[in-house]
Amino acid sequence: MFKAILFDLDGTLLDINMDVFIRQYFSKMVAMAEEAGYSVAERLVEKVWRATEVMISNRDPQLRNEEVFREHFYRDWPIPREEFDPFFEHFYEKGFPELKKHTRPFPGIPEMMQQIFDRGFKVVVATNAVFPLTALQQRLDWAGVGDFNYELITSYEVMHFCKPHLEYYQEIVDKLGVRPEECLMVGNDIGEDLPAGLLGMKTFLVEDLLIDKGQNLTPDWRGYLPDLYNFINNL
């Protein structure tokens, strides 16, 4: 029925409250910037947010998300890129791992993923492409599924679009060499994950950590994680 299965990461594969996580994420980033002696540390959160918003809105297929982010972040930023880029690298190497304590693995996810790989599906980690690969790989490790050979992990280094744009999902199928109708998108966010259905993908809405901001989109299937496990088992 399907050739490829796409999984959202946060709230789908990993038990995480993103509101809490993002607060802790920025708190740690600012603290490390202050420790490094940057006088503009208090401006860091606003700059990252604004550059991220521009990146999410971008529809230019010639620019990777990372390029859009960096172009707008360093606009009017007083510290040269060649000096501040190493700070970001240091943050993801030393600071980001400390955020693991704000997440938990979902029971059953590693076993489900092993079953899917054993059956030969192409598997994509279809998280919103706003983070570097290292931040995604670490969260996959926290979820207990970091060692699988994914067909694609949608980091901001490789993607040109973000959710909920249909171009994001089209880019995935183009990279996989499959048709949308041959894909299943699994996620917990109605507004970001279910737009895949508008492209022709089938969708499964995971309700354990449901995000519903009132968008009028309907999944093909829905349920809690045990329902997802049964669904995958019966494919």
Q: In terms of domains, do 180 and 112 share one?
A: yes
| pLDDT for position 186 | 99
| pLDDT for position 133 | 98
| pLDDT for position 1 | 84
Task: Please enumerate in sequence order all residues whose Cβ is within 8 A of that of 226, keeping only pairs 6 or more positions apart, or say none.
Answer: 108
Look up residue 78 and give its two tokens: 């007083």
Q: In terms of domains, do 166 and 190 share one?
A: yes
Q: In terms of domains, do 51 and 151 share one?
A: no
Q: Residue type for 119, please?
A: R
The last residue of a domain, from among 100, 133, 152: 100
| pLDDT for position 177 | 98
Q: In terms of domains, do 143 and 210 share one?
A: yes
Range of the domain at 67: 19-100
The last residue of a domain, from among 100, 122, 157: 100
| pLDDT for position 52 | 98
What pTM did the predictor assign? 0.97
> Are residues 182 and 2 in contact, defined by beta-carbon separation less than 8 angstroms?
yes
Q: In terms of domains, do 84 and 36 share one?
A: yes
Q: What is the mean pLDDT of each run of 10 residues along the chain (235 residues)?
A: 97 97 98 96 96 98 98 96 97 98 98 98 98 98 98 98 98 98 98 98 98 95 98 96
Task: Please enumerate in sequence order all residues whose Cβ is within 8 A of that of 128, keeping only pairs 6 or more positions apart, or say none.
Answer: 56, 154, 162, 163, 192
CA angle 13, 18, 21 (to 5 degrees): 110
> Are residues 229 and 108 in contact, defined by beta-carbon separation less than 8 angstroms?
yes
Each residue's pLDDT tens digit, 65-87: 999 999 999 999 999 999 999 99
Count other C-beta atoms under 10 Å from residue 160's C-beta.
21
